[in-house]
Structure 1
Amino acid sequence: MEKAEKQYDKYEYIDAQETYLKVVKKGYKSAELYKNLGNSYYFNSQFDEALKWYEDLMVSFPEEVEPEYYFRYAQTLKSAERYEDADTYMDKFFAANKEDERGRLYKKEPDYLNRIDFQSGRFEIENSSINSSSTDFGTAFYGNYVVFSSSRDTSTFKKTIHQWNEEPFLDLYKTTYNPTNGELSEIEKLNDKINSKFHESTPIFTKDGKTIYFTRNNYSNSRFGTDSKKTNRLKIYRSYKNTQGGWTTPQSLSINDDQYSTAHPALSTDEKTLYFSSDMPGGEGQSDIYAVAINADGSLGEPKNLGKRINTEGKETFPFISTSGDLYFSSDGHIGLGGLDVYVTNLNPETKEEELVVNIGKPVNGTEDDFAFIVDEGSKRGYFSSNRAEGKGKDDIYSFLQLEDLKSFCEITLTGVVTDKDTGDLLAGTKVSIYDSSNNLLKSYVVGPDAFYSHKVKCGSKYFVRAEKEEYATGEELVNTPEETKTLETPLLLEKKIKSAKIGDDLGKILALSPIYFDFDQSYIRSDAAVELAKVIEVLEQYPDMKIDIRSHTDSHGDDSYNLWLSEQRAKSTIKYMVDKGIDANRLSGKGYGESQGVNDCGNESNCTKDEYQLNRRSEFIIVK
């Protein structure tokens, strides 16, 4: 046991497994044995083997199980597609530590499998022809090449074996890239300035191809650096193209430290920010994603943790920034299908939906580790790495074609029909345009015979829907979308710029006036009524031969004869108001009708609402010449 623990503490997992298994065969059992044996497989992503020992731990020593083992056991259960059992242990994990973000995310999204299925099917994947029987992973675009990491041994002499997984150390290789079909061919190792006798992996290149950032063991100037426990950590190195076309001696970045690992560099679209994964002190979990500014002279600023929206108490790693500014990364802390899954989120979200961290779904993600995702958004082609069982080696590179963009969980459908406001006729041929809150045009339609339009927009946002048609005034509606998926009916009612009017028509209806209401038992002109009367006065001024008859109505409250008198007073009040505004009294006539011509059934002895009664307190403007 002492020997096994020493091997385990030095990350010599293969040797530790062999020693632990000898102890097990002798009949020895303990919680510590099952934990370490399970971990030695878990940290090597051998989840099927880890499952067995974690299961023994849960059955034999349930009182000695820390919450973290509930999480790890759940992860291995997922890899066996035992999702109901995994959920049971995620419930236990959350109950034991309600502050852990991994449990909180699970509780917040109990239907995570449906969510993942919703995004699935958007990629067509294929095992790459360049894979070997060893480990191949971690691709990067480099001009007409793709550069990747591999433990294939192409040297004359046997390369150093790494005791973590008993494979040769990784080197960087380049392969010719065909952007049309994504095919890779003609593999060649990068020069010895970049490759050392230890690990090199996960490169990223500047767009001009003159600078490379990559991950390497803590090894510089023939010095093998270790931390206080004699463990060699990972560091990010940078090298520049020299005048002969080769590479300068790689230099360790200022963000590195002997006491922790920094790895898997990625560049922002403007190449002014470096993203990376690290287990440096002060992070959220086992490894977090950080960003650091690249200054004009090449020096680096202070690393900034991307925070709890992205980082959990688990592993967040392998960042990649797309040309549109989306962050792709792998995580076992966000809710997934098992092992590491690939997720995407917006780096600078403007809406609540853009803040979401989204599992990109099957077939990129599966029950094992899926990571190192990169995509060329122009061709929709890219690569990711996975240790899934059907691969050629321990880790394989998979090419993909993206068939469909990310689906919006919350989606609003704006629909409506364009009609004539006065006649209700369908207005075929109307141009309908959708604008965002910054007045940027999103889409324009010319509606067909059904005058119907439909367009999908984001939740929690503001849009303008504009309708334009010859002979009609342009109409526009402001729409504030909710934070839930639904269809919003937004009808568009257009008014003709020039309307016809004949004797007997109500000028109020032609002008689409708001009703001229009077307060209860009153005949004075309210301020809202004055606004509407101004429109009538404007028309009378434009058409000096027009004459109108003003007809005033009351509700049924009070005595019939009183209401008749009140309506007469209201008609006279309206006429006086218009005369005072300059209209010749000879062009105006008026009469009160009391409650005799109500627009509803709110007559005597009715029990209507206040608003229903008010509908009858109105004025009409009938054209008589």
Structure 2
Amino acid sequence: MVKMRYIIFTILLFSLHSTVLGQELIFSEPKKMESTINSTSEEVSPLLSRDGNTLYFVRTFYEGNIGGELGAQDIWYSQRDQSGVWDTAVSLNQLNNQYNNIILGVGNNDSSIYVQNTYSNPLRWDYGISVSEKKNGKWQPPLELNLKFKRIGSFQGYFVPSNKDVIIESSNKNDSYGNEDLYIYRLEGNKWLGPIHLDTIINTPEGEISPFLCDDYETLFFSSDGHDGYGSFDLFMTKRLDSTWLNWSVPVNLGPVINSTAFDAYFSTYPSGESFYVSSKKEKYADIYSTTLSYEEIPIVTDTIVEDSTAYDTLIVDTLLVEIPIDTIKTEPVEVVEKEDRLPFTIQILAMPRGKKPNKIFFDHLDISHVEKSEGKDHLDRYYIGEFQTLVEALRGMDTLRKVGYSDSFVRKVEKYSTL
């Protein structure tokens, strides 16, 4: 099996060091799912049953829907046989009507599913979620969840995890930054608390849609056209950092293995590693793709103190840049490092005890005019290069530096140099 790797990092700030703690996401080669699931129309919102044998999804612009090709969306499903083959998808007729029918979550034991509420009187559709229970092998008429959602605009999307005590909403509200923002609701006793706005770490002036919260209740996938990406909507991952649900890590793009130059959204993943997402690639309509996701811990990277930089004389590179005298390196006092017009991220390449100069050979493969030095209160001189607006851009720069031999380079927030 071909495996493709994309590294993501979460920046954690400690009192003495800025530490990069990470996980490596390893995706198997994505595959477009069989014609028993994908049609010549559009398939979105894939969600797997808890037993792993039923894949629910939403089909649009399909002549087999209740309203026909120009009608509303319908819920479909495919079942996996004992040999692992997906059967031809069929309409979930018990839950489809003339309106948009969308699956939002699957309950524990596969005994309930959550759907967008288009079953009540339209005047009550602000109660945006309904739940259907399975009895005697049949899905019962969906009943409203006792939670009213306030929004402006016509778009709304939701995800309900299997424990059904958290809801993630994508919609436009009065306090939204952009087209659609992400919000959290939490069930405390019999009362829903929220909406909790996920703020500017996640939400942008553009759109954030198709949220999926993993079973660990810490890992959130979503799609956005407001963060840096490869195309229109790209898939991202963020981690919840504490119990408040207010603090999240900087979202990280899942990379070119998953994302394309077109529309990519509706990522879902399960404890087995089996994962699904939707992409339009260069086609007219979006289709469902499958992949396998596994995680590999990356060791903590902290300041590497080098007593003698001649240890780096054996760097191997394809191209050498013009050598510039080491005395041209700029020493930046703390107050300059902190100035407001600096971009937030940089890449540290070296730390040495005060008074010891690095061997100039160390910088042979860099444009030394862009290397800067911070003289820390801890008597360490730290050398760094580059300014980056986003963590993703900085990580790409770090990857380039490591490939040409600067294996100890790592991303650091510029503001952190004022505390060292």
TM-score greater than 0.5 by the shorter chain: yes
2:174 aligned partner: 281
Distance of aligned partners of 1:407 and 1:255 in 2 relative to their CA distance in 1, 3 Å threshold: farther
User: Cα deviation per residue 1:532-567 (whole Å; 9 max; x = unaligned)?
Assistant: xxxxxxxxxxxxxxxxxxxxxxxxxxxxxxxxxxxx
Structure 2 matches for 1:537-556, cutoff 5 A? Answer: none
Q: Does 1:329 align with 2:236?
A: no
Q: Does 1:358 align with 2:261?
A: no
Q: Which amino acid aligns with 1:238?
A: S
1:147 aligned partner: 56
How far did 1:294 drift?
A: 2.4
2:40 aligned partner: 133
Structure 2 matches for 1:460-475, cutoff 5 A? Answer: none
Larger Rg: 1
1:205 aligned partner: 106
1:255 aligned partner: 148
Which is bigger in relative contact order (C-alpha 8 A, separation at least 6)?
Answer: 2
1:291 aligned partner: 184
How far did 1:174 drift?
A: 1.4
Structure 2 matches for 1:57-206, cutoff 5 A? Answer: 122-129=27-34, 130-142=37-49, 143=51, 144-151=53-60, 152-154=62-64, 159=67, 167-177=70-80, 183-192=85-94, 194-206=95-107
1:240 aligned partner: 132
How many pairs are equivalent?
A: 282
Distance of aligned partners of 1:244 and 1:406 in 2 relative to their CA distance in 1, 3 Å threshold: same
Distance of aligned partners of 1:307 and 1:413 in 2 relative to their CA distance in 1, 3 Å threshold: same
Q: Does 1:401 align with 2:292?
A: yes
CA distance in 2, matches of 1:354, 1:487: 27
User: Cα deviation per residue 1:174-216 (whole Å; 9 max; x = unaligned)?
Assistant: 11147996x5324222233x21211112421122223322235
Distance of aligned partners of 1:379 and 1:414 in 2 relative to their CA distance in 1, 3 Å threshold: farther
Q: Which amino acid aligns with 1:141?
A: L
The normalised TM-score by structure 1 is 0.40
**Contact residue 234 and residue 260 of structure 2 kept, 8 A:** yes
CA distance in 1, matches of 2:79, 2:115: 19
**Contact residue 266 and residue 274 of structure 1 kept, 8 A:** yes
Q: Which amino acid aligns with 1:169?
A: A
2:199 partner SS? coil
1:184 partner SS? coil
How far did 1:249 drift?
A: 2.9
Q: Which amino acid aligns with 1:133?
A: T
**Contact residue 119 and residue 360 of structure 1 kept, 8 A:** no
CA distance in 2, matches of 1:332, 1:406: 28
How far did 1:147 drift?
A: 0.6
The normalised TM-score by structure 2 is 0.58
**Contact residue 236 and residue 253 of structure 2 kept, 8 A:** yes
CA distance in 2, matches of 1:259, 1:253: 20
Distance of aligned partners of 1:346 and 1:281 in 2 relative to their CA distance in 1, 3 Å threshold: same
CA distance in 1, matches of 2:82, 2:166: 26
Which blocks of at least 5 consecutive residues in structure 2 are unaligned?
1-22, 306-347, 349-381, 385-397, 399-406, 410-420
1:301 partner SS? strand
CA distance in 2, matches of 1:132, 1:306: 35
How far did 1:136 drift?
A: 0.7
1:342 partner SS? strand
Distance of aligned partners of 1:170 and 1:413 in 2 relative to their CA distance in 1, 3 Å threshold: farther
Report which of the two has the higher share of helix: 1
Distance of aligned partners of 1:119 and 1:180 in 2 relative to their CA distance in 1, 3 Å threshold: farther
Distance of aligned partners of 1:361 and 1:407 in 2 relative to their CA distance in 1, 3 Å threshold: farther
How far did 1:124 drift?
A: 1.1
**Contact residue 26 and residue 296 of structure 2 kept, 8 A:** no
1:570 aligned partner: none
Q: Which amino acid aligns with 1:366?
A: S
Which blocks of at least 5 consecutive residues in structure 1 are unaligned?
1-117, 162-166, 227-232, 416-458, 460-481, 489-625
2:109 partner SS? coil
1:302 partner SS? strand
2:142 partner SS? coil
How far did 1:406 drift?
A: 7.0
